[in-house]
């Protein structure tokens, strides 16, 4: 039986998780990886370009990266048939450039005669390519089944609708996400799959010698209402009342969320706010110097922050929300708490007491899980086989 030929399409924002998932399937199918890059996505955790205007519409990834950067990626791409970048240069997600590049993508899919087209997230820019994708050819991964609180968008809802309507299967990275999708979508015709996230090992390539600075408690990632940064800020004075020498670093750009700087100004010696985009080198350095990571989220369908922290060998204090309990064993490899300032402060104290966070670090699985890899391989091969059966 000939091997299935798969186009795996991913946005730069999900490239860190994609690198791990591909390892589960790359020996079983022939994969062409296509990475979407646009003006608002040219910088992500594991991908960065200073500008994109001088590139052709379709480029080989190897040709646009420095040799040193390509060498870091190369082990992940062994046994991948091709790795290319598709550039969208217009500012608008639904502008003329996006429509034309989407049509270009659709024609590329037709000309290469793929058996399966797997979109690892819905792409508004590439939506016109759906016109060229055959029925029962599209496999879809959804990272956020419903918009996070504070990030609702009618346009993004419409984009998700068209992809879901076309998809023959939908994969999620937590049972919580799958259940949430079923709750908000009735009469589901697609096959629903659950995958497992692996620690995002790419960031660990940037570990350096142990830092000599005093360690701190770290929050990192895009600032959004649902991530509960305000809950953490309200918890900090209580923590400092019992641990007056503790330091906190908050690092990340805002996604329309206005951070109340009153507490930042009140505790300038204890709270450092890095209001900036972080390169992967800077991020790795910050995580490596932290005692542990705090995720005070109000809601969580999955967490790249958690997988990044685990890859760096750091434990995480997270709220007992969404998918966190599926990846954190409370008191073993991390800690779970309620999503309110008092509970967060108490949990931070428990982590600090007698350096309890160091005991939990010993239980973190930093490396690649063979068990999760087998699970992901089995789930995705069932999806790809179903395409073969239908077509």
Q: Is 121 left (phi over 0), alpha (psi -120 to 50) or beta?
A: left
113, 136 contact by CB (below 8 A): no
Same domain, 186 and 249: no
- What is the rounded CA–CA span in Å between residue 217 and residue 249? 6
Does 380 lie in the same domain as 318? no
Higher pLDDT, 288 or 256: 288
Q: In this predicted structure, what is the pLDDT of residue 214?
A: 85
Residue 23 pLDDT exceeds 80: yes
**Where in the sequence is the domain holding 287, given as residue range(s)?**
201-361
Q: Do residues 175 and 236 share a domain?
A: no
Tokens of 198: 């692996």
pLDDT of residue 388: 56
Within this chain, do residues 328 and 285 fall inside the same structural domain, yes or no? yes
Q: Are residues 45 and 89 in the same domain?
A: yes
State pLDDT tens for residues 206-231: 988 666 678 999 999 888 888 999 99
Are 227 and 274 contained in the same domain?
A: yes
391 falls in which pLDDT band (50, 70, 90)?
Answer: low
The predicted structure's pLDDT at residue 254: 78
- Res 1: pLDDT: 59
Angle between helix axes 341-352 and 229-242 (nearest 10 degrees) is 50
389 has pLDDT over 70 = no
| 257: region left, alpha or beta (phi > 0 left; psi from -120 to 50 alpha) | beta
pTM of the predicted protein model: 0.93
Domain count for the chain = 2
Together in a domain, 209 and 64: no
Let me know whether 190 and 207 are in one domain. Answer: no
Report pLDDT digits (tens) over 261-311. 887 888 889 999 998 888 899 999 999 999 999 999 998 887 889 999 999
Percent of the chain with pLDDT over 70: 97
Query: What local confidence, expressed as pLDDT, does residue 390 receive?
Result: 57
Cα 127 from Cα 165, distance rounded (Å): 12
Per-residue pLDDT band for 253 (boundaries 50, 70, 90) equals confident
Q: What are phi and psi of 389, to 5 degrees?
A: -65, -40
256 shares a domain with 243: yes
pLDDT digits (tens, 9 = 90+) for 123-160: 999 999 999 999 889 999 999 888 777 777 788 889 89
Number of residues that make up the chain: 391
- Which is higher by pLDDT, 365 or 62? 62
Residue 175 belongs to domain with CATH number: 3.40.50.2000
Shared domain check, 94 and 28: yes
pLDDT tens figures, 93-124: 889 999 999 999 999 999 999 999 999 999 99
- Look at residue 249 in the predicted model and tell me its pLDDT: 96
Would you list the DSSP string of 356-367? HHHHHHTT---S
């Amino acid at each position: 039986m000939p091997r299935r030929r798969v186009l795996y399409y991913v946005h730069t924002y999900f490239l860190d998780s994609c690198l791990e998932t591909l390892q589960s399937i790359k020996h079983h199918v022939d994969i062409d990886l296509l990475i979407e890059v646009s003006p608002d996505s040219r910088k992500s955790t594991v991908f960065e370009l200073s500008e994109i205007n001088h590139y052709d519409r379709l480029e080989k990834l190897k040709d646009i990266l420095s040799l040193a950067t390509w060498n870091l990626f190369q082990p992940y791409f062994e046994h991948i048939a091709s790795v290319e970048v598709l550039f969208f240069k217009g500012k608008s997600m639904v502008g003329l450039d996006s429509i034309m590049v989407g049509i270009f993508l659709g024609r590329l899919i037709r000309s290469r005669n793929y058996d399966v087209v797997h979109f690892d997230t819905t792409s508004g820019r590439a939506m016109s390519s759906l016109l060229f994708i055959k029925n029962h050819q599209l496999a879809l991964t959804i990272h956020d089944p419903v918009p996070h609180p504070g990030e609702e968008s009618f346009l993004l809802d419409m984009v998700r609708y068209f992809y879901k309507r076309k998809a023959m299967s939908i994969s999620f990275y937590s049972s919580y996400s799958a259940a949430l999708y079923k709750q908000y979508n009735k009469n589901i015709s697609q096959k629903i799959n659950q995958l497992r996230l692996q620690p995002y090992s790419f960031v660990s390539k940037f570990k350096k010698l142990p830092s000599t600075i005093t360690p701190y408690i770290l929050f990192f990632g895009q600032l959004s209402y649902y991530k509960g940064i305000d809950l953490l800020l309200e918890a900090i004075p209580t923590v400092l009342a019992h641990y007056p020498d503790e330091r906190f670093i908050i690092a990340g750009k805002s996604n329309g969320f206005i951070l109340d700087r009153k507490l930042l100004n009140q505790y300038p010696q204890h709270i450092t706010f890095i209001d900036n985009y972080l390169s992967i080198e800077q991020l790795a350095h910050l995580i490596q110097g932290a005692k542990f990571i705090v995720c005070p989220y109000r809601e969580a369908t999955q967490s790249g922050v958690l997988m990044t922290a685990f890859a760096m060998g750091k434990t995480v204090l997270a709220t007992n929300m969404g998918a966190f309990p599926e990846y954190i064993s409370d008191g073993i490899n991390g800690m779970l708490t309620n999503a309110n300032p008092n509970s967060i402060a108490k949990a931070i104290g428990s982590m600090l007491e007698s350096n309890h966070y160091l005991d939990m670090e010993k239980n973190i699985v930093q490396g690649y899980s063979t068990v999760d890899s087998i699970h992901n391989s089995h789930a995705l091969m069932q999806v790809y086989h179903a395409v073969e059966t239908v077509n």
